[in-house]
Every structure is written in C-alpha cells, then in structure tokens.
Structure 1
C-alpha cells in the first residue's frame, strides 16, 4: 500500500488577524481488495503534527506540489511548441501553394 497526498488545504488569514495560518492534509492509500478491485482509502483531515508524523512535513508537501506543477508546465510547453510547429508548416505550405 502506497500513501500519497490526496488533498492539501492551506487556510490563510487576513492581514491584521491574530490567528495563525493553518493547513490540513488528507492522505490517500491505494490498495487492491480480495477480489482484485483497486481501492482508494482516505484518511480524515490530518493536523500538521499528524501529517508530519506520517512522513508528510510541510516542506515535502510544497516540494511535491511544485514538482507536479513544473511537470505540467513542461508538458504544456511541449504541446504548444508542437502545435506551433504544425501551424508554421501549414502556413508555409499554404504560402507555397498560393
């Protein structure tokens, strides 16, 4: 069974508030039941202390979010470059045939 971050919620506070910012984490666990069906079990909302005790300190959560976001940016940039190349080729073909 592997654990992963299912949900991360940051709760900020307005400027001037005496309350500290806070966050909670919900951990997912992927498993297969006795019939071979894949399941996802979710924890209750974990406090920062509970999350850290399970191996999910805030700095690791933020690093994981950033890494996933950068992967998505890279994939989208590659897709844009590919589409731009296709568009350029179509425009060149159209200009050559005109």
Structure 2
C-alpha cells in the first residue's frame, strides 16, 4: 500500500463505507426490501436511497466546507444528518 499516502481519516472513511455496504447486503439478504415513495420524486429501494444519500452527503460536505467556511465537524454533522434523513424518509 506504499503507492498511496493513506492517512487515518482516509482509511476510516473507506472502512465505514465498506461496512455500510456489507451491512446493507446482509440486511437485504435477511429481509428483502421493496420500493416505496418518500419525499424523493422517484420510487426507491434501500440501495437506491443509500446511493443517493452518499452522493448528496459528499457533495453537501464539499460545498459546505468550500462556501461557508464552517469547521470540519459542523459540515460533517450536516452531511451525515442529510444522509440519515434521505435514508429514513426519502
């Protein structure tokens, strides 16, 4: 792994994403989901909402850091909150 300068935050990010994907796989295997309509303009499954929430959280995090000058922890908390809202009610 010498080819890439892994830092602890980078490693933790990818470990958490991997754990989320593994957890969703197990959840889907044990309890198959179904499509539902939330506040998003399309019918979505759990996997769809996970993908959308990861994209929105990533872009929101970058925009908040770049445009507002908020501290890292505030932008992270806002991004995670947005992802949770999309997963729950999206």
Determine which structure has the larger helix proportion and give its number: 2
TM range (shorter): under 0.3
Which is higher, the Rg of structure 1 or of structure 2?
1
Structure-1-length-normalised TM-score: 0.26
Structure-2-length-normalised TM-score: 0.27
Determine which structure has the larger strand proportion and give its number: 1
Asked which structure has the greater RCO (Cα within 8 Å, sep 6+), the reply is 2
